[in-house]
Chain A
Amino acid sequence: NAGVTQTPKFQVLKTGQSMTLQCAQDMNHEYMSWYRQDPGMGLRLIHYSVGAGITDQGEVPNGYNVSRSTTEDFPLRLLSAAPSQTSVYFCASSVSQYSNQPQHFGDGTRLSIL
């Protein structure tokens, strides 16, 4: 059971480039989300999805797009990378959108924007 799988693990981009961070879960979880982790700031929610075809913005959505065409996959797209997007990105999933359910995290993607 792989859980939540994120690829790539590391990536270096130049300012203005675009890329997609991949996230897949094999637990048939309804809810998926993307966070960014910056020193001293904990995790901040970028976008989330409560099911296939449904996405919504979190706390820091600017500069990012998401889609959810299947239950398993929830890719995060950086449209035009900026140095402020240098961060560690985590994908998480939960069995449902109810707030008492814990989230299961991937191992993260470490992204540097030059």
Chain B
Amino acid sequence: AQSVTQLGSHVSVSEGALVLLRCNYSSSVPPYLFWYVQYPNQGLQLLLKYTTGATLVKGINGFEAEFKKSETSFHLTKPSAHMSDAAEYFCAVSERDYGQNFVFGPGTRLSVLP
């Protein structure tokens, strides 16, 4: 069965600084990988996804993530943080050919300091 770990339950960055949110997964078959963002009192919104093809994936709001098979990682980055990026971020994995079986990580809360 697949699993997801997110290093750091809370990350703080200054406005304009690099954002790096870590995600590592385990999967017995090639995975599909997703990042979702959750703003307060809202549901999760898809930021980006990796299914096939290019391992560097660009998403909304200037975020991107790179799938590294050798490191079983799918870290989320943004070159310059904005105050509006403050939210909780979830990494999720699903296994190919096994139907919808998302497993979500525990989440990382991002704070952006002025």
Contact = CB atoms under 8 A, between A and B. Distances in A.
A90 B106 contact: no
Contacts of A48: 100
Interface in B55-106: 90, 94-102, 104-106
B114 interface: no
Nearest to A4: B43
Interface in A39-59: 40-45, 48, 50
Which of B45, B98, B104 has the largest number of chain A CB atoms within 10 A? B104
B43 A97 contact: no
Contact of B43 (A33, A102, A107): A107
Interface residues of A, number: 27
Contacts of B43: 4, 90, 92, 105-108
Contacts of B42: 107-108
B88 to A, nearest CB: 10
Contacts of B107: 40, 42
A39 B41 CA distance: 14
Contacts of A43: 44, 90, 102, 104
Interface of B: 4, 9, 32, 34, 36, 41-46, 49, 51-52, 90, 94-102, 104-107
Interface of A: 4, 31, 33, 35, 40-45, 48, 50, 90, 92, 94, 97-108
